[in-house]
Amino acid sequence: MANLGFVGLGVMGSQMVNRLLSKGHSVIGYNRTRAKADWLIKKGMKWADSPEALAASVDVIFSMVTNSTALQAIVEGPDGIIAGLTPGKIYVDISTVSPEYSRSVAEKVRAKGADMVDAPVSGSVITLQEGKLSVMVGGRKSTFDKIKPLLEHIGSKVTYVGDNGLALVLKIACNLSLAVQMLAFSEGVLLAEKSGIPREIAVDVLANSAIASPMIKYRGPFVLNLPEEAWFNVNMMQKDMLLALELGRKLDVAMPSTAVTNEFLTAARGMGLVEKDFAVVFDVLAHMSGVHR
């Protein structure tokens, strides 16, 4: 049993804490909105009044927030995670943020005698609940070896990628593919539907065909019914697409399908769909094609 802290109790973060509690770990949590943590407190999670207080009282700190700005808010300043670090502590950031900014945070963490790895995950709420997430880790190999057993309580596949920031690069590569796949799938469904094939049949056939990636299997049916609560909304996905395009420019990697798909996410924002799951690109394309949900 480990003494753990977790900052950021959104949809994914709270489910990770739930898994860690179920494995017998002691977990202290912090979230900007405490009400979101009530159900975890009832399950045995303890509460910290600030990221600094949390970091000071545990051995391993996890965090999962929405973007680089949110990460800066919880790590820096007198109440931030860095302020609560002492030698020997390990900080594991699961957020998908700018690799460059993550590396800068790691430098500040090491200046306190602690260490940091980036450990973004690939998967959905369902795969997390089933313990089937894929975890990518960037940082010192010796630190990875220490925390790997903990990460295996979050996801079944835990892979060491290399130096700090590289796991984030790989996560961004994963997410751009999800959005591009969703747009291509939507094109196929609409082509079938406008030819006279019922949408339900088109979805069923395509989701069980050679194109059926795991993402298409669980998110493809969203073109029939979007979930009330987004698994990963337009805002979050576009953040990752922009990170991908930024990396592409820096590395001279042409990213035509990413650029086009990003424009559909921008269109979704313009249509007031920013809080919907990113599968709503189907609705944007359908509207352009004269088809309604």
**Could you give the CA distance from residue 31 to residue 53 in angstroms, rounded to a whole number?**
12
> What confidence score (pLDDT) does residue 130 get?
81
Read off the amino acid at residue 288.
M
Give burial (CB, 10 Å; 0-12/13-18/19+) of 156. Answer: middle
> What confidence score (pLDDT) does residue 1 get?
64
Give burial (CB, 10 Å; 0-12/13-18/19+) of 225. Answer: exposed
Contact 33/12 with Cβ under 8 angstroms?
Answer: no
**Could you give the CA distance from residue 45 to residue 43 in angstroms, rounded to a whole number?**
6
What residue spans of the chain are helical by DSSP H? 11-22, 38-42, 51-56, 68-75, 99-111, 125-129, 141-151, 166-194, 199-206, 214-219, 234-251, 256-270, 281-288
> What confidence score (pLDDT) does residue 188 get?
97
> What confidence score (pLDDT) does residue 243 get?
96
Domains for the chain: give ranges and CATH numbers.
3-162 (3.40.50.720), 169-288 (1.10.1040.10)
Per-residue pLDDT of the chain (293 residues; tens, 9 = 90+): 679 999 999 889 999 999 999 999 999 999 988 888 999 999 999 999 999 999 999 999 999 999 999 999 999 989 999 999 999 999 999 999 999 999 999 999 999 999 999 999 988 777 888 878 899 999 999 999 999 999 999 998 999 999 999 999 999 999 999 999 999 999 999 999 999 999 999 999 999 999 989 889 989 999 999 998 888 999 999 999 999 999 999 999 999 999 999 999 999 999 999 999 999 999 999 999 999 87
> What confidence score (pLDDT) does residue 126 get?
78
> What confidence score (pLDDT) does residue 293 get?
73
* Token pair in block for residue 24: 């017998």
Name the residue among 242, 184, 239, 244 with its Cα closest to residue 216: 184
Q: How far apart are the first and last CA of the chain?
A: 49
How do 121-122 and 133-138 pair as beta strands? antiparallel
Give burial (CB, 10 Å; 0-12/13-18/19+) of 141. Answer: exposed
**Could you give the CA distance from residue 40 to residue 239 in angstroms, rounded to a whole number?**
28
Give burial (CB, 10 Å; 0-12/13-18/19+) of 23. Answer: middle
Token pair 């007031």: residue: 272
Name the residue among 31, 25, 78, 33 with its Cα closest to residue 56: 78
Read off the amino acid at residue 286.
A
